[in-house]
Structure 1
Amino acid sequence: MDNLTLFESLLNCDSVEELHSATTTIARAMGFEHFLYGVQVNTSLTRPYRFILSCYPEEWRKHYDKEGYANFDPTVSHCARTSIPIIWKKEIFKGRRETRVRNEAKDCGLVSGASFSVHGGRGEAAMLSLATSRESREAQNDILATMAKAQLLTCYLHEAVQRIVLSKGPLPVKKANLTEREQECLLWAAEGKTGWEIANIVKISERTVTFHLQNAIQKLGVVNRQQAISRALSMGLIEPRTIR
C-alpha cells in the first residue's frame, strides 16, 4: 500500500477508536512510537472547543496538563502562528521553563520529534506532534526524511477528525451560512455602529438591518448581537475588509 492510499484510509474511519488505531499504525510505520493531535475550534472567544487524539504516555499527558505546559511550550506557540513544521531542536527550548518541558518530556520517552500545523477554513487550528524515544543523528535524519509525509498525514488526519468529531460532536463546526448582507451588518455592528448608522451606511432601512442581525444571531446559535459578533469573528465569518 502506497503512502497516499495509507493516508486516505484515515478518511474511511467511522469512529475515534478506529482513527486512533489507524493513526498509531501509520505513525509507527514512519518510525514514531508516539503521536498527539490536538485541535482548537474558536466557537467562543473565552471557551473554545478542544479535541485531543493521542498515544503519548498517559503520565506525561496528565503532568503536562496539570503544569499548564501548553502556555509556554514553544512547539504549541509555533504551530499556533504558522504552518511551517518545527523539529524539536535544542535551540527552540531556550528559557528555563521551556528547558524544563523538554527535559521532562525526554524522561517520558518523547526524546526526538517534530510538530506540524493545519489552519482550517472555519477558524480552527490543529497540530500534530510525532515523537520517538531515539536520540541520535540518525533519528534526526529520519525525521527530516519524513517531513513531507508527516505534513500530509497532518492534513488527512485533520480532515478525518472534522468528519468524525467536529461535525457530529456536542459543538459542531458546521459553518453558518450567513448571507452577504448579514455579514455586512455584523461587520459594521462590530465597528460599534448602531442600527440607524448601519442603515445609512449600507443604504437599507433600520428595520431591515435588525432583520439581518436577528437572522445572523439565530444562525450562529447565540442570544444577542454582542455574542454574534464574537462568534462570527472567532470563526472567521467576518474579517477586516477595505470599504470603498
Structure 2
Amino acid sequence: MNLIDLSTVPDTDDNFTSFLNDLCRELGFDYASYATSHPITGDVQGYANYPDEWKLHYGRRGMHRVDPTLYLSARSIAPVDWTRFTDHPHFHDVFFDAHDFGISNRGLTVPVRGPHGECGLLSVTRDCRDQDWKKHKRDVIGDLQFAAVHLHDNVMRSGVLQQALNRPRLSSRELQILQWVAAGKSQQDIGDILSISHRTVEVHLRSSREKLSALTTAQAIGRAIGLGLIYPG
C-alpha cells in the first residue's frame, strides 16, 4: 500500500493544494489534507499542505498504513474529532513524531461518500486550547463540510487518480532536486539553494532512484527526462 502525493502527478494542475492553503487561511486552521484510497490496491492518494519534512518522514515510516485519522475516520459518516483516537496506540505513534515537526494532534476529519462507494477524507489541524477548539469547530463545521464535498467532487472529476496509477510518483521536492542535479548542481549546492541539509538531499535522491527503478542518480535523471518529469539541464 503506497502513499501517493497527487500534487506530483505530471500534466495535472496543483489547484487542490492551493485550495487547502486557502481553506486554512479562511477558516483558521494550521494545516489541511485530503486523502482517498484506491479500491483495489489500497494506495492512499491525496494532497496535503504539511511541511515537506513531515510528509517525507510520514511516508518513509509508512504511517499511512496505521494512521487512525485515515482508516478509522473512513468508517464514519459524520465528522470525526481526533480526540476519539487519543487512546489508540497508533495515534500516539503518529503524533508523537508530528509534534517534533510543529504539527498539533488536535484535529478533525470530514468523510465524504461518493456515488460509486468511494470515500474522501478532508482533515484539518489547529494548535489551540481545548475551549477555543470546541468553539472554533462549531463556528466553521458547516463551511468545512461544504468544502470537503466540493474538494472531493473536483478530485474525482479531474482524472488525477487514474494518472497517478500509471506514472512514477515522485514528490515535488524529489522532482525539484532531480532538476537541480540535471542542471549540474552538487548535493551541497542543492542543499544551500533549498535550505536543507545535504543528507536530506541524498534521502530524496535515494527515494527518486527507487521510484524510477534506477541504479544510479544519472540513470534516474535520464528516466525522469524521458518521462517528461524534468527537463534537460
The one-letter amino acid of 1:16's match is D
2:21 maps to 24
Contact in 1 for aligned 2:67/2:94 (Cα 8 Å): yes
The one-letter amino acid of 1:125's match is C
- Name the TM-score, length of structure 1 as normaliser: 0.55
Q: 1:71 Cα deviation (Å)?
A: 2.9
1:78 matched to 2:72:
yes
Which of 56, 59, 80 does residue 53 from structure 2 map onto?
59
Which of 137, 141, 144 does residue 143 from structure 1 map onto?
137
Matches of 1:142 and 1:34, distance apart in 2: 15
What does residue range 154-233 of structure 1 map to in structure 2 within 5 Å? Answer: 154-166=148-160, 169=163
Contact in 1 for aligned 2:35/2:122 (Cα 8 Å): yes
The one-letter amino acid of 1:153's match is A
**Runs of 4+ residues over 4 Å off in structure 1:** none
2:203 maps to none
Contact in 1 for aligned 2:20/2:33 (Cα 8 Å): no
Root-mean-square deviation over aligned CA pairs: 2.6
Q: Which string of whole-angstrom CA distances, capped at 9 and with x for unpartnered residues, describes residues 41-76 of structure 1?
A: 31x2xx245421110122222222222223332221
1:216 maps to none
Matches of 1:125 and 1:88, distance apart in 2: 18
Count of matched residue positions in the alignment of Structure 1 and Structure 2: 155
Q: Secondary structure at the match of 1:16?
A: coil
Which of 89, 96, 111 does residue 103 from structure 1 map onto?
96
Q: 1:18 Cα deviation (Å)?
A: 2.2
Matches of 1:106 and 1:137, distance apart in 2: 20
- Name the TM-score, length of structure 2 as normaliser: 0.58
Q: 1:95 to 1:79 in 2, by over 3 A?
A: closer
1:41 maps to 38
Q: Which string of whole-angstrom CA distances, capped at 9 and with x for unpartnered residues, describes residues 96-128 of structure 1?
A: 432232232233232122111112222322111
1:193 maps to none
Matches of 1:16 and 1:97, distance apart in 2: 34
List gaps (5 residues or longer) in structure 1: 1-13, 173-244
What does residue range 129-140 of structure 1 map to in structure 2 within 5 Å? Answer: 129-140=123-134
Matches of 2:126 and 2:102, distance apart in 1: 7
Q: 1:16 to 1:48 in 2, by over 3 A?
A: farther
Identity %: 24
Q: 1:135 to 1:103 in 2, by over 3 A?
A: farther
2:121 maps to 127
1:118 maps to 112
The one-letter amino acid of 2:36's match is V
Q: 1:57 to 1:133 in 2, by over 3 A?
A: farther
Query: Which protein is bigger by CA-based radius of gyration?
Result: 1
